[in-house]
Amino acid sequence: MNLIDWWMCWFRRAGVWHRTVPAEHSSAPSPDASPTASDLDMMSRALALAARAASMGEIPVGAIVYRTSSGQVLGEGFNRREIDKDPSAHAEYLAIQAACKATGDWRLNDCTLVVTLEPCPMCAGLIVNARVGRLVYGASDPKAGAVRSLFQLADDPRLNHRARIIPGVRADECSSLLRAFFKSLRAK
């Protein structure tokens, strides 16, 4: 037995590989899931809310929280940062707050959040803190997205809650709304 074989034997006996391989495997984020018919339907409502935001001069982002099992809408919101002069007035933040008020509970494990744009670090943090069960989003946000683009906060295995992630749902429609809004701003 040469020195390398001896070390490999020792590692196996010491269980080093047996311990490290499953640990690495379990720390991987869960694979992205596909949208249900309810998710697609709720994305239409979120897109309508985003269009409403645009009509009020706000960046068009809309969000819905619904009960995953029944499809009951519990909260909705659209970006109101300019109107409210509030940096936390993001669509999904307002939708989560409304849903917690409606249910009388800060935990939303049995709920799905549908939002037209990938959540920022603040909103991804709130998704974890509110224990949101599922997150469905439309357009990716390469500059601030904290779910897949820049960070993976909403299903980071080191945190005490992981949402199920369904990204890129009707992403083209969600980004067209944003593009049209910024184009009209530049034209002014």
* Angle of CA points 28, 148, 32, to nearest 5°: 60
For residues 31 and 164, give the distance between their C-alpha atoms in angstroms, rounded to a whole number: 9
In the complex, minimum distance from the CB of residue 59 to Zn ion, in angstroms, rounded to a whole number: 11
Where does this chain touch Zn ion (CB under 5 A) — which range of 4-12, 52-60, 90-98, 127-135?
A: 90-98
- Does 120 sit near Zn ion (CB under 5 A)? yes
- Does 123 sit near Zn ion (CB under 5 A)? yes
Q: Which residues are catalytic?
A: 92
Q: Which is nearer to Zn ion, 113 or 120 (CB)?
A: 120
Task: Count the residues in the chain.
Answer: 188
Where does this chain touch Zn ion (CB under 5 A) — which range of 71-79, 87-95, 110-118, 180-188?
A: 87-95
Query: Is the separation of the CB atoms in 50 and 138 below 8 Å?
Result: no
Q: Which is nearer to Zn ion, 90 or 162 (CB)?
A: 90
Instruction: Name the residue number minimizing CB distance to Zn ion.
Output: 123
Q: Which is nearer to Zn ion, 35 or 119 (CB)?
A: 119
Phi-psi region of 156 (alpha: psi -120 to 50; beta: other; left: phi over 0): beta
- Does 162 sit near Zn ion (CB under 5 A)? no
In the complex, minimum distance from the CB of residue 79 to Zn ion, in angstroms, rounded to a whole number: 9
DSSP classification of residue 113 = E
In the complex, minimum distance from the CB of residue 107 to Zn ion, in angstroms, rounded to a whole number: 20
Buried b (16+ CB within 10 A) or exposed e, 78-107: bbbbeeeeeeebbbbbbbbbbbbeebeeee
Binding footprint of Zn ion on the chain (CB under 5 A): 90, 120, 122-123
